[in-house]
Amino acid sequence: MNSVSQEEAVAAIREGKLLLYPTETFYALGGDALNPAAVNGVYEAKRRPYGSALPVIIGHTEQLRLLTNVSAGGGGSLSLDLAGAFWPGPLTILFPALSSLPVALSAGTGQVAVRLSSHPVAAALSKMAGRPLVSSSANLNGQPAARSASELEPWLLLAARGGVVLDGPEPAGGLPSTIVETVGGLVKIRRPGAVGIAAIRAAGFSILE
C-alpha cells in the first residue's frame, strides 16, 4: 500500500492522479473534480455504470462557485439553506452544474452532487489543492464500501496512482451520505443515508413525499 502524506496527495491531485482518502463515512476514491481524465478514471476504476452524477467534496463553501451557479434552476436559496443547516456533514446536495464541468461528473444529468466534508483530511485535501474532489466510495460497483484502509480492494489500490492517505480519524462507517435535491420549495430524498428525514424536518424543511 502506497501511503502518502497530505502534501504528496495534494501534488497528486494537481497532477490529475487518483487517490484514496478517508471521509466522514467511508474511504473515497477521487481526484480533481475539474479534470476530465480524473473523473473518467473514477468510473473506470470502480467499473461504475455511467448515468448518475459522481459525488463531490469541497473544503469550504466558496468552492461552490467552481461547480455551480446556485441561483440557477430556481432552487439555489433553498439548497444553500440546507447547506447552512447540515454542512459540514454527510448531506450531499444536488446543484445545477456549470456547463464548463466535465460531462462525466454530472453524467449528463445537468446536476452536480456536492457536500462539505466534516472529515478533517478530506476537507484539508480540497482546501490545499484548491480543487473540489470527486468523492465516490472506494469500492467496486455493487460491493461494500471500505471503512478502513485494510478493506480497500487491490484493484483500487492499483488505480489510485496518487497513493492512500492514512492521516486523521477513520471513517465512521454506517450509512453513506444522504443525497437530496430541492423541488418547488421541498426537499426530495434521492438516497436515504446518514442524515435522516426526521433531522431534515426538525431543521424546518418540508419533504417531498
CATH number, domain of 112, equals 3.90.870.10
Residue 148 lies in a domain: yes
Output phi, psi for 133, to 5 deg: -115, 130
pTM of the model: 0.93
Residue 16 lies in a domain: yes
- pLDDT, mean of each 10-residue run, the chain (209 residues): 94 97 96 96 90 90 92 66 96 95 92 96 97 94 92 93 94 95 94 97 95
**106 vs 104: CA distance, rounded Å:** 5
Number of structural domains found in the chain = 1
Query: For 27-64, how does the pLDDT look when each residue is reduced to its tens digit (9 = 90+)?
Result: 999 999 999 999 999 999 998 888 778 999 999 999 99
Residue 209 lies in a domain: no
Domain enclosing residue 12, as ranges: 3-202
Residue 208 lies in a domain: no
Residue pair 99/185 in contact by the 8 Å Cβ criterion: no
Write the CB contacts of 18 (distance below 8 Å, at least 6 apart in sequence).
29, 30, 31, 38, 41, 42, 45, 159, 160, 161, 162
